[in-house]
Copies of this chain bind each other. A is one copy, B any other.
Amino acid sequence: MTEKRLGPQTIRLPSAPSILGIGTVSGRKEYLGPIGKYVDVDADQTKLNLSSWEAEERSMLQRAINTVLTKTKMLESNIDYMLMGDLLNQIVTSSYTARENAIPFIGLYGACSTMALSLSVASMLIDGGFATNVIAATGSHFCTAERQYRYPLEMGVQRTASSQWTATGSAALVLSEHRQGLPSITHVTTGRVVDFGITDANNMGAAMAPAAISTLRAHFDETNRAPEYYDLILTGDLGMYGKSIVADELCDEFNEFSSRYTDCGCELFKGDTSVLAGGSGCGCSALYMGKVIKDFELGNVKRVLFVATGALHNPVLINQKESIPGIAHAVAIERE
């Protein structure tokens, strides 16, 4: 075991790479919700009249990148790697966006866990001495996700109560070498794939909750930290049913878990019942990071455990009667 490795799933980052800034772009529904005030660009106000939803999704990701470069006063040439992934087949949103940027590109796939996965690998590349500045970015779009994973929107299929609403939005973060006073990544717990046999593609929360539980347990165990160490423990997009599975399971095991814990999918559209069980998609936890970073700035939080969750299925395997495996990756974000 190396000195950076705390256990089978967790490493610590002695140099604690910092989050220099975040750029976010959201759709109208997200902008009008509780996280709207933390969003940099309201995509609805900057409509480009693009020819497809896929093009819109790419445009949002590119604008999130441009926004964070401007906010952090970085040039493309300052960025050593760009780590991105998304929900579309062959992560085309990320790859086609990367084509517009002369930055070495590492494509990732972690479904809705991509924000934590890209932050994990980005912070390891910096701590390992391979990079000074890295972009970690992701996004999703309600309309592209619906037609790819479910039904054409034009069919107007009725949604089940456990279904979730894919967030339309993108976030890009610049990670850099440690700077005093900025939120910094101190630990990474990489998820194992966990499958509890859920076959209902309209109940992603239940499919992903066991993975979140597995990663949270591994993190607390291997870091020797209790939930009360953190001001906030965030899962990515479990929605209300998935969140209640995690809460039920871990509240008995850990004191003070429930008082710290919430789920980005439950927060993103809070009060909007049209989304049913809550928000989802790569963009869900990514957009919510805008609020988290602002809370660090304001001193509202000092230690956050961010556990983004992903369902790793595709429609072909669902048709072949396979169950839905989940994964959850955790990063501990702390500020002195």
Tell me the bound Cα distance from A2 to B98 in angstroms.
24
Tell me the bound Cα distance from A209 to B302 in angstroms.
48
Query: In the complex, which residue of chain B has the Cβ closest to the Cβ of A327?
Result: B105
- Tell whether A1 is near chain B: CB-to-CB under 8 Å: yes
- Whether the Cβ atoms of B4 and A130 lie closer than 8 Å is yes
- Whether the Cβ atoms of A117 and B128 lie closer than 8 Å is no
A315 neighbours in B (Cβ, 8 Å): 89
- Tell whether A306 is near chain B: CB-to-CB under 8 Å: no
Tell me the bound Cα distance from A195 to B110 in angstroms.
25
- Whether the Cβ atoms of B95 and A327 lie closer than 8 Å is yes
User: What size tier do the contact residues of chain A reach?
Assistant: 35 or more
User: What mask results when residues 117 to 129 of chain A are scored 1 for a CB within 8 Å of chain B, else 0?
Assistant: 1001100110111
- Whether the Cβ atoms of A117 and B107 lie closer than 8 Å is yes
- Whether the Cβ atoms of B104 and A192 lie closer than 8 Å is yes
Which of chain A's residues 86-132 have a Cβ closer than 8 Å to chain B?
Answer: 87-92, 95-96, 98-99, 101-111, 117, 120-121, 124-125, 127-132
A136 neighbours in B (Cβ, 8 Å): none
- Whether the Cβ atoms of A132 and B2 lie closer than 8 Å is yes
Among A107, A120, A327, chain B packs the most CB atoms within 10 A around the CB of A107
A91 neighbours in B (Cβ, 8 Å): 109, 312
Tell me the bound Cα distance from A127 to B88 in angstroms.
32
- Tell whether A314 is near chain B: CB-to-CB under 8 Å: yes
Closest 7 CB pairs of A and B: A128-B128, A95-B312, A104-B190, A90-B314, A99-B193, A107-B109, A89-B89
Further pairs besides A89-B316, A105-B190: 11, Cβ < 8 Å = A3-B129, A4-B130, A51-B320, A81-B190, A89-B315, A92-B314, A95-B325, A96-B317, A101-B193, A121-B121, A125-B128
Instruction: List 6 A–B pairs whose Cβ atoms lie within 8 Å, in order of A's numbering.
Output: A2-B130, A90-B109, A92-B312, A105-B193, A106-B120, A121-B121
